[in-house]
A and B are shown apart, each in its own frame.
Chain A
Amino acid sequence: MLAVDGVSKRFGGLMAVDSATLSLEPGGIIGLIGPNGAGKTTLFSMISGFIAPTDGRIRFEGTDITAEEPHRRAERGIGRTFQIVQPFAGLTVCENIAVGAYLRHAKRADAIAKAREVARRVGLGPELDRPAGGLTVAGRKRLELARALATEPKLLLLDEVLAGLNPSEIRDIIPVIRGIRDEGVTILMIEHVMQAVMNLCERVYVLAQGRMIAEGPPAAVCADARVIEAYLGHGAAARLKAEGAAHG
């Protein structure tokens, strides 16, 4: 469904993403993890069309979309949430979501109906007519999710949707994400909350310093020496192994 092929991004002297390759089949939840500053959001921005890659190609459902504008990609079915959540100020929750719904529904009545339906699915039903600015952090995250869902995406890019949520809020939103997957939307999520990654993702890609260093089921990836070193530093894998043996 999505084929990211040797994509790189150079900012002046800094290589933010270096020949990243990624491929997704329809269905399922795939994780994109890595230490801070690894280039994950940059990669997302390139997949969703906000940044142009310096190198490489991006294909969606067989078509090369590397040069396409973000709104065209949304039309194709790529939805995206942002790390820093900003609702459309001054509009109600319903109106916020309706902006997304308008992509597929030209008439106001249809868009509002779709918005209400999506809101209920993510649990924002009671908040629908409140101003979006009054939502809590958890509410805003759900709003971000709802807005993207309203565009009826085939692929949903979630950028740290769990960041800033406390454990009970995380626990509440995980079934919502699963529900989205169950309806047939493919999800690619950037996440730092490991518990959620283990819980939700069937497969995980690891990005460190701009390079893909590992790929596979979450449990295997987390045991991978290179991944441990990326997070904990050079030699950490060996040290952990030695400590494990010592306590053995």
Chain B
Amino acid sequence: MTARDLIPIAVLTILAALLPLVVTSSTVLNFLVFTLIVSLGAQGWNILGGFGGQFSFGHAAFFGTGAYVTAILQLRYGVNAWAGLALATAAGALVGWVIGFLSFRSGLRGSYFALVTLAFAEVFRILANAASFTGGAAGLLIKLDVRPANLQFDDRAVFYWLVLAFVAATLLLTRWIQRSRFGAQLVAVRENEDAAKALGVDSLKVKLRAIALSGGVTALSGCLYAQYFLYIDANIAYGSWISVELLLAPIIGGVGTVFGPVVGALTLHGLGEVAKQFAGRIPGIDLIVFGGVLVLAVAFARGGILGLLERLRDRGRGMVARGTKEVSHAGR
């Protein structure tokens, strides 16, 4: 990757890292940490959904796996939290690969793929809710023992920087994908699988790689959620709420772009907070706003916020070009 690729990501990361020095309100920090965790999970979704074109409606399957694996490893096997993080990410990638293998081998795509991912997430939820291994309906509490070695920090800001680091790393990963052979092949498969195959692209292998990466990144976000909130149950970890959040953010922000998921998550959660300020007494008002924004985005801004900005920029360029033409004509 060139410096041109790295600079925007580096600049934004540095700016974001400075925030906790300016903002000290714990509510705001809380909001930021949660939003960044969702952004990370959404970045995972975006790899499969945005670049791969396979919309998953059940990404909770990976989020929850990450959360549960790290919780269970720490609680039942005394595994260190950082090792748990690494293993949870690997578990997510593995689950992704398996679901992908079953689905893509059978040729599932589009709506059918969305449905099967929904079903898998639901199966996991029911199992987690019933098995004592996962704490059943009572869920799991990670023991509070605030030490950096346990991935638990005194200062909320440190956790913020940790999640930010992962988000930045994933931004770099996504940018690398965009500029790599894997990314080109993935996009080709998304646009026209047969044509891609005729050009030598092993579409199954490419899709499996995408879903494994996607599962891993989203599992990482689930693991971070568990570490931050220290409590999970089947509905939190595998519930449809997170599946919806993880797909809404990239779509609103700009599907298939590097910054889309982060922009989308910030926008959605920001809008949600605003909605709660104005109509806080109405439960679920933020979700009503989310649903409405989704419909509006699909109707008017298919490329999400980043797509809109690009269209405006192109129109601006067009105006400038026409303007200079007029000036030069007038000069004759």
Q: Are A111 and B195 neighbours in the complex by a CB distance under 8 Å?
A: no
> In the docked arrangement, what's the CA distance between A50 and B193, Å?
11
Question: Considering the complex, which residues of chain B in the window 233-250 have a beta carbon less than 8 Å from any beta carbon of chain A?
Answer: none
Nearest to B1 among chain A residues (CB) is: A108
Q: Are A71 and B202 neighbours in the complex by a CB distance under 8 Å?
A: yes
Q: Which residues of A contact B199 (CB under 8 A)?
A: 71, 74, 79, 99-100, 103, 147-148, 150-151
Q: Which residues of A contact B187 (CB under 8 A)?
A: 88, 90-91
Q: Which residues of B contact A86 (CB under 8 A)?
A: 191-192, 195
- Asked if A71 meets B200 with Cβ closer than 8 Å, knowing A99-B184, A99-B185, the reply is yes
Q: Which residues of B contact A88 (CB under 8 A)?
A: 187-188, 191-192, 195-196
> In the docked arrangement, what's the CA distance between A102 and B188, Å?
11
- Asked if A99 meets B188 with Cβ closer than 8 Å, knowing A108-B179, A108-B181, A111-B181, the reply is yes
Does A95 belong to the interface (CB within 8 Å)? yes
Nearest to B183 among chain A residues (CB) is: A108
> In the docked arrangement, what's the CA distance between A70 and B196, Å?
9
Residue of A89, A99, A100, A111 with most chain B CB atoms under a 10 A cut-off: A99
Q: Are A80 and B181 neighbours in the complex by a CB distance under 8 Å?
A: no
Q: Are B181 and A91 neighbours in the complex by a CB distance under 8 Å?
A: no
> In the docked arrangement, what's the CA distance between A150 and B199, Å?
9
- Asked if A102 meets B185 with Cβ closer than 8 Å, knowing A48-B198, A69-B202, A71-B197, the reply is yes
Nearest to A147 among chain B residues (CB) is: B199
Q: Which residues of A contact B74 (CB under 8 A)?
A: none
Q: Are B180 and A71 neighbours in the complex by a CB distance under 8 Å?
A: no
- Quote the shortest CB–CB distance from B267 to chain A (angstroms): 23
> In the docked arrangement, what's the CA distance between A150 and B201, Å?
13
Residue of B181, B192, B201 with most chain A CB atoms under a 10 A cut-off: B181
Does B203 belong to the interface (CB within 8 Å)? yes
Q: Which residues of B contact A111 (CB under 8 A)?
A: 181, 184
Nearest to A75 among chain B residues (CB) is: B200
Residue of A49, A69, A88, A89 with most chain B CB atoms under a 10 A cut-off: A88
Nearest to B192 among chain A residues (CB) is: A86
Q: Mark A39-53, 1 if CB is under 8 A from B, else 0.
A: 000000000111000
Q: Mark A91-103, 1 if CB is under 8 A from B, else 0.
A: 1000100111011
Does A106 belong to the interface (CB within 8 Å)? yes
- Quote the shortest CB–CB distance from B87 to chain A (angstroms): 31
Q: Mark A43-71, 1 if CB is under 8 A from B, else 0.
A: 00000111000000000000000000111
Residue of B188, B199, B201 with most chain A CB atoms under a 10 A cut-off: B199
Q: Which residues of B contact A148 (CB under 8 A)?
A: 198-199
Q: Which residues of A contact B188 (CB under 8 A)?
A: 88, 99
Q: Which residues of B contact A69 (CB under 8 A)?
A: 197, 202
> In the docked arrangement, what's the CA distance between A75 and B202, Å?
10
- Quote the shortest CB–CB distance from A158 to chain B (angstroms): 12
Q: Are A82 and B180 neighbours in the complex by a CB distance under 8 Å?
A: no
- Quote the shortest CB–CB distance from A166 to chain B (angstroms): 25
Q: Are A70 and B198 neighbours in the complex by a CB distance under 8 Å?
A: yes
> In the docked arrangement, what's the CA distance between A154 and B161, Å?
54
Residue of B180, B187, B191, B198 with most chain A CB atoms under a 10 A cut-off: B198
- Asked if A98 meets B184 with Cβ closer than 8 Å, knowing A69-B197, A108-B179, A148-B198, the reply is yes
Q: Which residues of B contact A147 (CB under 8 A)?
A: 195, 199
> In the docked arrangement, what's the CA distance between A70 and B197, Å?
6
Q: Are A74 and B181 neighbours in the complex by a CB distance under 8 Å?
A: no
Q: Mark A144-184, 1 if CB is under 8 A from B, else 0.
A: 00011011000000000000000000000000000000000
- Asked if A80 meets B191 with Cβ closer than 8 Å, knowing A102-B181, A108-B181, the reply is no
> In the docked arrangement, what's the CA distance between A101 and B179, Å?
14
- Report the 10 A-B pairs with minimum CB-CB distance, sorted nearest first: A74-B200, A103-B200, A88-B191, A70-B197, A100-B199, A99-B188, A102-B181, A71-B202, A80-B198, A71-B200
Please, could you name 15 A-B residue pairs with CB atoms under 8 Å apart, sorted by A? A50-B197, A74-B197, A79-B198, A82-B194, A86-B195, A88-B187, A88-B191, A88-B192, A90-B191, A99-B184, A99-B199, A103-B201, A106-B181, A111-B184, A147-B199
Residues of B within 8 A of A (CB): 179-181, 184-185, 187-188, 191-192, 194-203
Taking A108-B180, A108-B181 as given, write out 8 further A-B residue pairs in contact, using a Cβ cutoff of 8 Å, ordered by the A residue number. A48-B198, A69-B202, A71-B201, A88-B188, A91-B187, A99-B199, A103-B200, A148-B199
